Amino acid sequence: MQDNPLIPSQILDQITDKTCEGLALALASDDDGAVMYLQWCNKAFTKITGYQAKEVIGKRGTILIGSSMDQGSHLIIIEKLMNWEQFSLKTQNNRKNGEQYWQKMSWTPLLDMATGNRWWLCSLIELENRPDLQAEGKVPGLQRADRDLLTGYVEKIERLEKENKRLHELAKVVAKESKEDSLTGLSNRRHFEVELKSWIQDLQKTGRDFAVFYVDLDRFKSVNDTLGHDAGDRLLISVANMLRRLTSEADLIARIGGDEFVILRPLGSSALDISSLADAIVQEMHAPFAFEGKSTFCSASVGVAIANAQMEIPEQVVSDADMALYHAKSNGRGRWSFFTEEMHAEAITTKRLVSDLLIACEKREFIPHFQPVIDAATGKIAGAEVLARWVHPTMGLLSPASFLETATAMGILKRIDEIIFSYLPDALALFDSAGVDVPRLSTNASAGRLADPSLIHDIRRSGVDPKRLIIEILESVYLERIGDVVHWTLGELKEMGVAIALDDFGTGHASVQGLLKINPTVLKIDRQFILPIVDDATARALVTSIIGIGKSLGMKIVAEGVETEDHALFATEMGCDFLQGFYFGRPMSSKDLHLKLTENNGVFWSGHALR
Distance CA 183, CA 223 (A): 17
Which amino acid belongs to residue 397?
A: L
N- to C-terminal Cα distance for the chain?
A: 137
Distance CA 90, CA 389 (A): 101
- Provide DSSP, 452-485: -THHHHHHHHHT--GGGEEEEEEGGGTGGG--HH
Distance CA 195, CA 356 (A): 37
What residue ranges define each of the domains in the chain, with the CATH number in brackets?
A: 9-142 (3.30.450.20), 189-339 (3.30.70.270), 350-588 (3.20.20.450)
Cβ-in-10-Å burial (0-12, 13-18, 19+) of 161 comes to exposed
Ranges under pLDDT 50 in the chain: 1, 133-142, 478, 480
User: How confident is the model at residue 135, as a pLDDT?
Assistant: 42
User: How confident is the model at residue 140, as a pLDDT?
Assistant: 47
State the greatest distance between any 2 C-alpha atoms of the chain, in Å, as a whole number: 140
Distance CA 30, CA 117 (A): 7
pLDDT, one tens digit per residue, over 132-180 is 644 434 444 445 555 566 566 666 666 766 776 776 666 556 555 568 8
Give the number of other Cβ atoms within 10 Å of residue 221's Cβ: 13
